[in-house]
Amino acid sequence: MQTYLKGRDMITTQEWTKDELDTIITVALELKRRRAMGEQHALLDNKVLAMLFFFASTRTRASFEAGMAQLGGHAMFLDSTSTQIGHGDTWKEIGDILGRYNDGIAIRNVDWDVGNQYIRAVAEASRAPVMNMQCDWYHPFQALADLLTVIEQKGDPSNLTFNMSYAYASSYQKPISVPQSVVLLMTRYGAKVRLTRPPEFKLFPEVIAQAEENARISHGSFEILEDFEEGMRGADVVYAKSWGSMLTTPDHEESARISEKYRDWITDARRMDMANDDAIYMHPLPADRNIEVTDEVIDGRWSRVFDQAENRLHAQKAVMALTM
């Protein structure tokens, strides 16, 4: 267990050692226990987290604000459309000034080919740690919550077959940051990871190469499948959600048209029955009900989506307590 992580940025879990990630999970479980027992844990008394949002949020904003309050601190919500952030303040001014006002900066910017660069630039300018609440490349806090959920529900990830699968959705062309962060983190923990997706729904080649190397080091495995039902067969964890085909086309309308070819990529009871008998279903929410996943699955015996959503709170609190 690592005992000094103050000042560390959390932009991607790939930049943290396995021992450091283990520390986050250990602390998250302890803070979850304290919350359940009603024990006060004001570890960030008098600390302030600035939260910059360039993209709408429900769970992310609510969980970070609640987490800071439970840790005895305060979360400052900043919307790019109602401040000078959207039309004047540069990344350097944001990092340098908010890094002086606050004890941490959290940013959500999923703009394609912008978000990750922006967050890294702010981190370079800031004296306070910077946390990635989601960008175009990564969603580290979602992946940490997912790992925590898998460990609680299924035990050692190295014993598991984990299917990270595309699913059709009609709402909008969602970022690729969740599947990228999930395959990176689960391969660190030795799972047998499947990335199941249509050929147009690729992830960044650099991320695929990192996932392959992670699997080699952890003695797990990583494979890419292009058949929805093949990915389901024998899985212990089915994590099926939509993302856009941005690496095939940057045009959202064209990406939406490509998606139409895969309307049958929906997680239903028949597909879940192809997985192992005690398999669980995961999704970061919000889900397009009866399009990405049927009500029977997301509300049924397989679903762990609400445990997963709760664990956003505990994983984020652990990182904030350790770094701020």
Confidence of residue 91 (pLDDT cuts 50, 70, 90): confident
Confidence of residue 57 (pLDDT cuts 50, 70, 90): confident
pLDDT tens digits along 113-154: 999 999 999 999 999 999 999 999 999 999 999 999 999 999
- State the average pLDDT for the chain: 96
pLDDT at 86: 61
211: phi then psi, degrees, rounded to nearest 5? -65, -40
pLDDT at 171 over 80: no
Q: What letters, b where the CB count within 10 A reaches 16 and e where it falls short, cover 90-129? A: ebeebbeebbeebbbbbbbbbeeeebbebbbbbbebbebb
At 197-231, the pLDDT tens digits run 999 999 999 999 999 999 999 999 999 999 999 99
Kindly indicate the confidence band of residue 316, based on its pLDDT and cuts at 50, 70 and 90: very high
From residue 201, alpha-carbon distances to 10, 169, 249 in Å are 26, 13, 10
**Averaged over 261-285, what is the pLDDT?**
98
**Residue with structure tokens 């898998």?**
150
In three state form, how does the secondary structure of 175-216 look?
Answer: CCHHHHHHHHHHHHCCCEEEEECCCCCCCCHHHHHHHHHHHH
Q: 137 vs 22, 114, 140, 168, CA distance in Å?
A: 23, 10, 10, 20
Does residue 88 register a pLDDT over 80?
A: no
Cβ-based neighbours of 260, under 8 Å, separated by 6 or more: none
The predicted model gives 223-246 an average pLDDT of: 97
All domains of the chain, ordered by start, with CATH? 13-139+312-323 (3.40.50.1370), 141-309 (3.40.50.1370)
**Cα–Cα distance, 59 to 279 (Å, whole number):** 25
Task: Over range 157-183, report the average pLDDT.
Answer: 94
Question: Mean pLDDT, to the nearest integer, of 89-104?
Answer: 92
- Kindly report the CA angle at 112 between 171 and 95, in degrees rounded to 5? 120
Residue 140: the pLDDT is: 98
Instruction: List Cβ neighbours of 136 (8 Å cut-off, separation of 6 or more).
Output: 109, 110, 111, 112, 113, 114, 115, 116, 175, 176, 177
What pLDDT was estimated at residue 253?
85
Locus of tokens 């047998």: 192
- Residue 170 pLDDT: 84
Which residues on neighbouring strands pair with residue 192, listed in sequence order?
A: 161, 221
- What integer pLDDT is reported at residue 82 of this predicted model? 60
Predicted local confidence at residue 256, as pLDDT: 86
Nearest to 184 by CA among 302, 11, 319, 306: 11
Task: Name residue 162's beta-bridge partners.
Answer: 193, 237
How many angstroms separate the CA atoms of 285 and 15, rounded? 26
Joined together, the tokens standing for residue 313 give: 């709170």
Would you state the pLDDT for residue 317? 98
Nearest-Å Rg of the Cα atoms of the chain is: 19
- Identify the pLDDT of residue 231: 98
pLDDT of residue 83: 64
pLDDT above 70: percentage of residues in the chain: 97
Task: Report residue 252's pLDDT band, with 50, 70 and 90 as the boundaries.
Answer: confident
Using CA atoms, how far apart are residues 314 and 309, in angstroms rounded to an integer?
Answer: 10
Structure confidence by residue, pLDDT tens digits, 29-49: 999 999 999 999 999 999 999
Q: Are 34 and 321 in contact (CB under 8 A)?
A: no
